[in-house]
């Protein structure tokens, strides 16, 4: 009996299921409140907020310099990346 194919299939589905756990998801009310405060502390406001790949992301935030940025915050709501939107 050859068990190579069933083992490979199980490994494939396990890896796919693990990847789904890191998919985009909406924020909880508590996360939205904390992230909004972190965005404001960074001199920005607005934007589309989501949780993705273990980080909080804000697309198209308007900042005090008049420019639009994509922001990333870690799980403790600390700014880890601020990228100018083109």
Q: Model pTM?
A: 0.72
Give the separation between CA 72 and CA 21, rounded to whole angstroms. 19
Is there a domain that residue 11 lies in?
Answer: no
Is 53 inside any structural domain?
yes
Domain contains 5: no
Mind listing the pLDDT tens digit for each residue in 41-51?
A: 999 999 999 99
- Residues 76-84: contacts with CB within 8 Å, 24+ apart? 77/34, 77/35, 77/37, 77/38, 78/38, 79/38, 79/42, 80/55, 82/42
**Apex CA 37: angle with CA 36 and CA 42, to 5°?**
95
Q: Is residue 19 part of a domain?
A: no
Among 84, 40, 83, 35, residue whose Cα is nearest residue 55:
35
Confidence of residue 25 (pLDDT cuts 50, 70, 90): confident
The total domain count for the chain is 1
Rg of the chain, C-alpha, whole Å: 18
63 within a domain of the structure (yes/no): yes
Residue 62 covered by a domain: yes
11 vs 22: which has the higher pLDDT:
22
Show the domain range for 72: 24-84
Judge whether 70 lies within some domain.
Answer: yes
Q: Do residues 53 and 19 lie in contact, with contact meaning Cβ atoms separated by under 8 Å?
A: no
Residue 15 in any domain: the answer is no
């Amino acid at each position: 009996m050859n068990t190579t194919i069933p083992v490979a299939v199980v490994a494939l589905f396990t890896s796919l299921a693990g990847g789904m756990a890191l998919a985009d998801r909406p924020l909880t009310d508590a996360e939205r409140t904390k992230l909004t405060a972190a965005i404001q502390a960074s001199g920005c406001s607005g934007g589309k907020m989501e949780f993705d790949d273990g980080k909080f992301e804000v697309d198209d935030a308007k900042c005090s310099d008049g420019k639009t940025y994509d922001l990333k915050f870690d799980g403790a709501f600390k700014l880890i990346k601020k990228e100018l939107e083109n």
